[in-house]
Amino acid sequence: MRLNIELKRVQEELDGFKNFFNMGERDVLMEEIQDLRSQLQYYLDSSCNSSRKQSPLLQLTHSCGTTSTPLCTISESTEASGNEKIEPDGCNWTERESEWIILSEELKLELEASRSLAEKRKVELDSEKKCTEELKEALQTAMQGHARILEQYADLQEKHIGLLARHRKTMDGIEDVKKAAARAGVKGAESKFINSLAAEISALRVDREKERQYWRDENRGLQVQLRDTAEAVQAAGELLVRLKETEEAVATAEQPCLFILQKRACMAEQETEKAYQEIDNLKKNYDREISLLNQLLADSRLPREALTYTVFNVAKTEGGESPTDQRWREEFEPFCNRDDADFSKDTNPSSWFSGYDRCNI
């Protein structure tokens, strides 16, 4: 509370100084000081002028002698009165100026002190903020720890309630055994044995209950796992069905493409077969034409015996051949024989066409 009150007081002082600067009071004071200085300067200048005027008057009095005695007395009286008036005014103005200077310096000092105080308060405030943040964090951690303690307490309470229930069950079992023993009329050591037996039986019952609870929890967990696996199997089956559907769709989409490719392949094979057939037909046509040409050539060519016979008959009709003609025929006969042999070699129908046919193929 003390810190808050001091902070408020310092804040109010700062606001006052800010208002002082904002309202322009400092400027007004500075203007007043400037006016006072100007007035003081004016009075000082006027006093200097009056002294200058008095100096020629004094010279006149010295030159005039006894006749100027009353003027000197008047001037001296006026000068004394003016000096008496100016001196207190100058002292007042200097005092006021010094007071204003002192006040301004004091204000400056107070301002600096208030600023330093404000900075200190600001530092303190920042440190307090940090402390409050740390306190908040510590409080949050404490709250979290308290919440954890409460949760642990709730768990312990549940366990305690379970233990109480088991204890009651065991005690009920013991009471039942005791009642049965009392009905049977058992006394002494046998009663002690029966009590211990009842305690063991109740403990066994409690253990069985624990086991039952454990196996129930296990069964529930297994059922949950089984449900999850069934859902996963169902999802996998749906995925398989979708995959099969996509495969069928892809197969149906590929069938037209395969059919088109097969059709194109068949068309290409048919075209190749047609081309081979055309080539065979052309070969046959060429063979036929060649055979016809050979026949025509054979028909058009005369045999050698007929040629020699005609030449011999012509010679006979002419009445004998000259030795020059005989010699000429002997010289040209081998050439004729060679031409005939070459022509007879070319009579094979596929001799000259075979190379041409191979080139075409």
CA gap 125, 6 in Å, rounded: 12
Domain residue ranges of the chain, discontinuous segments joined by +: 2-145, 301-361
Closest of 304, 288, 292 to residue 344, by C-alpha: 304
Q: Tell me how far apart the alpha carbons of residues 232 and 224 are, in angstroms, rounded to a whole number.
A: 12
Q: In whole angstroms, how far apart are CA 353 and each of 27, 101, 127, 300?
A: 132, 140, 119, 21
Per-residue pLDDT of the chain (361 residues; tens, 9 = 90+): 666 776 777 777 777 666 665 555 666 677 777 777 777 777 777 666 655 544 444 443 444 444 434 434 444 444 555 455 556 666 777 787 888 888 888 888 888 888 888 888 889 888 888 888 888 888 888 888 888 888 888 888 888 898 888 788 878 877 777 777 676 665 555 566 666 777 777 777 778 888 888 888 888 888 888 888 888 888 888 888 888 888 887 777 766 667 777 778 888 888 888 888 888 888 888 888 888 888 887 776 544 444 444 444 444 444 444 555 555 455 545 544 544 444 444 444 444 444 444 444 3
Per the CB < 8 A criterion, the answer to whether 90 and 44 are in contact is: yes
Instruction: Please tell me the distance from the alpha carbon of residue 222 to that of residue 228, in angstroms, as a whole number.
Output: 10
User: How far is CA 110 from its chain centroid?
Assistant: 57
